[in-house]
């Protein structure tokens, strides 16, 4: 079965950087799509960025120019490099994957993804 395990969260001051990792197992992603989402208590989970294995990335407007999503194929690991962090980036960050062979044509809602990790907390202080 597919397992996604996030790591790399932590606490950082505004303007700092963090890199999140998502180790994927059991996911055959010749043409799939994986993404990052975030959620704060009392609010809906929101899309941050996604990565298509056949090319192409999509970013939420709120993180464009600051966050970079990438994939290390050999390690089966998805990354989210977060730079110029702001207090409003504070959230629990989740890694997710679509069913095999389904692409992401834009920033997609959580309902399009069927596999999820357990989340990792990111806290940005001012």
Instruction: State yes or no: pLDDT of 112 exceeds 90.
Output: yes
Distance between CA atoms of residues 81 and 18, nearest Å: 6
Work out the average pLDDT over 41-45: 97
pLDDT reported for residue 73: 79
pLDDT reported for residue 28: 66
* 115 three-class SS: strand
pLDDT reported for residue 30: 61
Bridge partner list, 42: none
pLDDT reported for residue 99: 86
Angle at 20 between CA 16 and CA 22, to 5 degrees: 175
pLDDT reported for residue 110: 97
Which of the four pLDDT bands, split at 50, 70 and 90, describes residue 15? Answer: very high
């Amino acid at each position: 079965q597919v397992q996604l395990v996030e790591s790399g969260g932590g606490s950082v001051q505004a303007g700092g950087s963090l890199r999140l990792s998502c180790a994927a197992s059991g996911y055959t992603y010749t043409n799939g799509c994986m993404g990052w989402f975030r959620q704060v208590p009392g609010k809906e989970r929101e899309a941050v960025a996604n990565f298509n294995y056949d090319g192409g990335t999509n970013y939420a407007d709120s993180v464009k120019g600051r966050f970079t999503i990438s994939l290390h194929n050999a390690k089966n690991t998805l990354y989210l490099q977060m730079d110029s962090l702001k207090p409003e980036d504070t959230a629990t960050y989740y890694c997710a994957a679509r069913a095999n062979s389904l692409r992401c044509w834009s920033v997609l809602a959580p309902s399009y993804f069927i596999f999820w990790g357990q989340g990792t907390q990111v806290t940005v202080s001012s």
